A and B are shown apart, each in its own frame.
Chain A
Amino acid sequence: AQSVTQLGSHVSVSEGALVLLRCNYSSSVPPYLFWYVQYPNQGLQLLLKYTSAATLVKGINGFEAEFKKSETSFHLTKPSAHMRDAAEYFCAVTYSGGGADGLTFGKGTHLIIQP
Chain B
Amino acid sequence: KAGVTQTPRYLIKTRGQQVTLSCSPISGHRSVSWYQQTPGQGLQFLFEYFSETQRNKGNFPGRFSGRQFSNSRSEMNVSTLELGDSALYLCASSFSGQHNEQFFGPGTRLTVL
Contact = CB atoms under 8 A, between A and B. Distances in A.
B contacts with A: majority SS:
strand
Interface residues of B, number: 26
A89 B71 CA distance: 32
Contacts, number: 63
A13 B72 CA distance: 42
Given A32-B99, A49-B101, A95-B99, A102 B107 contact: no
Interface residues of A, number: 27
Given A44-B92, A101-B58, A108-B43, 17 more contacts: A36-B104, A41-B106, A43-B4, A44-B90, A44-B104, A51-B99, A98-B48, A98-B97, A98-B98, A99-B56, A100-B56, A100-B57, A102-B33, A102-B45, A102-B58, A103-B98, A108-B42
